[in-house]
Amino acid sequence: MKILAVICVVLLLPVLAGCDVVLTANHQKPEIYAFVRPAKTAHDEQMIQGLASGGEELQANMEIHEIDLTEEPDDAIRQVKAAVRRSTRAIIITPFENDELQKQLKKAREKGISLIYLDAVQSYEIPGTYIVTDDEAAGEKAGHLLAESMGGEGKAVILSTWPDDQRALDREKGFQEALGEYDDIKLVNLFYCNGEEENTKKTLQDILTAHPDIKGIFAACPKTASAAVKEAAGRSQDIQIVGFHHTDETLEFIRNGQMYGSVSLKSFEMGVEAVKAAVSMVSDPAAHATISLDCEIRTRDSLYGAGEPNSPTS
């Protein structure tokens, strides 16, 4: 578990992932807590950056924690328990399937603490505000983008992340539905690479050996996209690559023409909107809502022409 920062009206400090607890001069207890997944992906990292930026912008008395209910469940629950007290006004949380956590959130609700579900994929019994995205629609946009890059014909593959990730499954569904609109594009198969570069390289080597005429690849995370670019670079055939989410590295690949483009959720804005919702609910606890954010498409031609970038890595 990492405590990222405390941001308050009295003292505003830069937020650095992994830093120690930063308290206000008078050691005031935070009114808002955010409990989020560890920043192991570009999406989660940018959401945390958005939380920090939103807290500073709104001068929120807020503390951000990274918790891991899979590897360190006892410590994670201990941190949530500590936040469920009368002085806390709102809790932002990326939902986890954990019975003890649900008990703590129920207690929080009973104490009048507002809940904001950040990056939720389902509804929960305990009322709160939801900050969500439509992964299926984002996957559909990625499918059309890859079809465009392929000129509407040829063989394509999906290099996805994990088969038990509902978000990944939703993206796959949208992507396949989009490709289904193109009679001259054949989806060869779907492969899971667990978001790891080495797995992706080996998988792609096997795919290209069996199907040397592959023309398009949908890489469902930045690490997978990076591995696909590096592997395709040594091949003679022209392979178009569309990624999902972005990092500095994948944006550079797009600028250099090594990737056709990417579809990204507005991860940074999701964090900002969660803080806005929390601040609003401190004033009006009954102000429940569902805030749905769209995705953004980045290509070499449109990278700087699609409006304001949505994260510091844009």
Report the C-alpha dihedral over residues 176, 182, 183, 184, rounded to 10 degrees: -100
CA 286/CA 300 separation, integer angstroms: 44
The residues, ordered by sequence, that sit 6+ positions from 221 with a Cβ below 8 Å of its Cβ are: 41, 42, 161, 195, 243, 244, 245
Sign of the Cα torsion 28, 11, 310, 247 reads negative
Using one digit for the tens of pLDDT, what is the confidence trace for 159-201? 988 888 888 899 999 999 999 999 999 999 888 887 788 888 8
Domains and CATH numbers, the chain: 2-127+266-294 (3.40.50.2300), 135-264 (3.40.50.2300)
pTM given for the model: 0.83
* Helix ranges (DSSP H) in the chain: 42-57, 73-83, 99-110, 135-149, 166-179, 197-210, 222-232, 248-255, 267-283
Give the model confidence (pLDDT) of 21-55 as tens digits: 333 334 467 899 999 999 988 899 999 999 999 99
pLDDT tens digit at each of 314 positions of the chain: 555 544 433 333 333 344 323 333 344 678 999 999 999 888 999 999 999 999 999 999 999 999 999 899 999 999 999 999 878 999 999 988 889 999 999 999 999 999 999 998 888 889 999 999 999 999 999 999 999 999 999 999 999 888 888 888 999 999 999 999 999 999 998 888 877 888 888 999 999 999 999 999 999 999 999 999 999 988 878 999 999 999 999 999 999 999 999 999 999 999 999 999 999 988 887 777 899 999 999 998 877 544 333 334 44
